[in-house]
């Protein structure tokens, strides 16, 4: 376990507060993609990010938003590196993040638990508009790779579901 200095914690807070470019209601910390912040030297900081999907095009926007946020905080040299392992999972989205997703109209991913742990109950996907659990899948892929398109059979509204990964 690497201990963070007070400065690294502060910079991590700033980087983590950057909104996701595609889901601006979520911060990068709530999405669980910020892996670490390290001060390499005076005015030099390295930030580790992990992509949700390998091909997620938002990662470049995230990197430049983090750079800008830390520049504004007086860090002249910011490098953002992408790490793949351990692979990001929708379980990395915080409880607060899930609540915000639902409020924004996107059904949050269901918890998956550890791969070798007890098999979790399959929970119904709840309509973020009316709260009904009576929903059906329209397409496994929606506006972005991380979402599926569903329809509520009670209120008839279509909605995105952040699918489990």
Partner 1 sequence: MTAQTTAIEAAALALGDDALVLSHRLGEWAGNAPVLEEDVALANIALDLLGQARVLLSLVGDEDELAYLREERAFRNTQLVEQPNGDFAHTIARQLYFSTYQKLLYGQLASGEGPFSGLAAKAVKEVAYHQDHAEHWTLRLGDGTPESHTRMQRACDALWRYTGEMFQPVDGLDVDLTAMENSWLASVTAVLEQATLTVPDGPRTGAWTAGAGRQGLHTEPFGRMLAEMQHLHRSHPGATW
Binder to partner 1 among 24, 42, 55, 114 (CB under 8 A)? 55
Q: Is 124 helix (H, G, I), strand (E, B) or coil?
A: coil
Instruction: Work out how close the CB of 50 gets to partner 1 at its nearest, in angstroms, rounded to a whole number.
Output: 9
- In the region spanning residues 131 to 160, those forming contacts with partner 1, defined by CB under 8 A, are 138-145, 149
Q: From 16-24, 52-60, 68-76, 127-135, give the range in contact with partner 1 by CB under 8 A.
A: 52-60
- d(CA 106, CA 101) in angstroms, rounded, equals 5
- d(CA 125, CA 122) in angstroms, rounded, equals 9
Instruction: Work out how close the CB of 87 gets to partner 1 at its nearest, in angstroms, rounded to a whole number.
Output: 4
Instruction: Work out how close the CB of 135 gets to partner 1 at its nearest, in angstroms, rounded to a whole number.
Output: 16
Q: In the complex with partner 1, which residue's Cβ is closer, 74 or 86?
A: 86
CB 44 within 8 A of CB 71: no
Binder to partner 1 among 51, 97, 109, 128 (CB under 8 A)? 51
Report the sign of the C-alpha dihedral through residues 10, 50, 115, 102, in that order.
positive
Instruction: Work out how close the CB of 43 gets to partner 1 at its nearest, in angstroms, rounded to a whole number.
Output: 28
Q: Who's near 93: CB < 8 A, 6+ residues apart? A: 26, 30, 31, 32, 101, 108, 109, 162
Encoded tokens for 13: 């807070």
User: Is 61 an interacting residue with respect to partner 1 (CB under 8 A)?
Assistant: no
Report the interface residues with partner 1, using CB under 8 A.
Answer: 51, 53-57, 84-89, 138-145, 149, 163, 165
């Amino acid at each position: 376990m690497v201990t963070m200095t007070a400065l690294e914690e502060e910079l991590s807070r700033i980087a983590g507060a950057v909104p996701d470019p595609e889901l601006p209601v979520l911060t990068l910390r709530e999405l669980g993609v910020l892996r670490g912040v390290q001060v390499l030297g005076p005015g030099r900081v390295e930030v580790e990010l992990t992509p949700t999907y390998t091909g997620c095009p938002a990662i470049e926007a995230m990197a430049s938003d983090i750079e800008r946020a830390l520049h504004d905080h007086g860090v002249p040299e910011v490098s953002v590196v992408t790490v793949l392992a351990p692979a990001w999972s929708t379980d990395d989205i915080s409880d607060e993040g899930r609540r915000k997703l639902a409020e924004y109209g996107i059904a949050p991913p269901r918890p998956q638990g550890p791969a070798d742990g007890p098999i979790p109950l399959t929970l119904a996907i709840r309509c973020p508009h009316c709260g009904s659990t009576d929903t059906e899948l329209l397409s496994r892929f929606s506006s972005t790779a991380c979402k599926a398109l569903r329809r509520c059979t009670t209120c008839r509204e279509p909605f995105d579901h952040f699918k489990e990964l």
